A and B are shown apart, each in its own frame.
Chain A
Amino acid sequence: AQSVTQPDARVTVSEGASLQLRCKYSYSGTPYLFWYVQYPRQGLQLLLKYYSGDPVVQGVNGFEAEFSKSNSSFHLRKASVHWSDSAVYFCVLSPRQGGRALIFGTGTTVSVSP
């Protein structure tokens, strides 16, 4: 079965500290993978995407993610967080073949403290 697991429901980090959000997926093959972010009172926005090639992909606002086929993971990282990074982050999988359904993780709420 296809699924996405985000093991950390909430993460609190200090401003300026590094951040890593974990994402594991279950899929027979190599899926398309994404991170979406939802800032307070806003809709979900695409942060970055992985289709193929270089396993490290860059996104907006200094975020990057690394795809690992051997670990079935797609972890999100940022070297130095800002208070404005406080949001809910969703790891998302899209099957490569057929269908239009995105499979979401349950999300990780990030709180950045001053």
Chain B
Amino acid sequence: DTTVKQNPRYKLARVGKPVNLICSQTMNHDTMYWYQKKPNQAPKLLLFYYDKILNREADTFEKFQSSRPNNSFCSLYIGSAGLEYSAMYLCASSRQGANTGQLYFGEGSKLTVL
């Protein structure tokens, strides 16, 4: 099974409220990623876990949190949603890093902040 599952598929949130997005994979991949995708823009890497080590991009360091309680699950947490967080959030996983290019993506979680 080469699928990555994301929940929820659609999330409506109020400004200032927290948001938690969940991702799971059963491929025993060592690395899990979160990307943000806005219309007409390229997917933007927010953070990734290599095993238990979290790496966050410098420009989104304070905006997003994440946890990986076990190899299969990874969450993306927004403490206080703003309008600018409205986007599609893509989870992906890979084995032995992204340099090989073989990432497996979920269908995405569409977040709308009102």
| A32 in contact with B31 given A9-B40, A44-B105 (CB within 8 Å) | no
| A104 in contact with B105 given A43-B4, A44-B90 (CB within 8 Å) | no
In A67-90, the 8 Å CB interface with B consists of: 90
Minimum Cβ distance to chain B for residue A47 (Å): 11
Minimum Cβ distance to chain A for residue B90 (Å): 7
Minimum Cβ distance to chain B for residue A40 (Å): 10
In B34-88, the 8 Å CB interface with A consists of: 40-43, 45, 48, 50, 55, 57
The segment from A22-30, A58-66, A95-103 found at the interface with B is A95-103
Q: Which residues of B contact A45 (CB under 8 A)?
A: 105
Nearest opposing residue in chain A for B48, CB measure = A100
Nearest opposing residue in chain A for B5, CB measure = A43
Asked whether, in the complex, the Cβ of A32 is within 8 Å of the Cβ of B100, the reply is: yes
Asked whether, in the complex, the Cβ of B102 is within 8 Å of the Cβ of A46, the reply is: yes
For the complex, would chain B's binding face be called helix, strand, loop or mixed by DSSP majority? loop
Is B22 on the interface with A (CB-CB < 8 A)?
Answer: no
Complex-state Cα separation, A43 to B45, whole angstroms: 16
Minimum Cβ distance to chain B for residue A34 (Å): 4
Minimum Cβ distance to chain B for residue A98 (Å): 8
Asked whether, in the complex, the Cβ of B107 is within 8 Å of the Cβ of A100, the reply is: no
Is B99 on the interface with A (CB-CB < 8 A)?
Answer: yes
Asked whether, in the complex, the Cβ of A49 is within 8 Å of the Cβ of B90, the reply is: no
| A106 in contact with B105 given A32-B100, A44-B90 (CB within 8 Å) | no
A-B contact pairs, 17 of them (CB 8 A): A34-B101, A43-B90, A43-B104, A43-B106, A44-B103, A44-B105, A46-B101, A46-B102, A49-B102, A94-B98, A94-B100, A100-B98, A101-B98, A104-B43, A106-B40, A106-B41, A107-B42
A4-B42, A100-B48, A103-B42 given; name 9 further pairs at CB < 8 Å: A34-B101, A43-B106, A90-B43, A96-B99, A100-B33, A100-B55, A100-B98, A101-B98, A104-B43
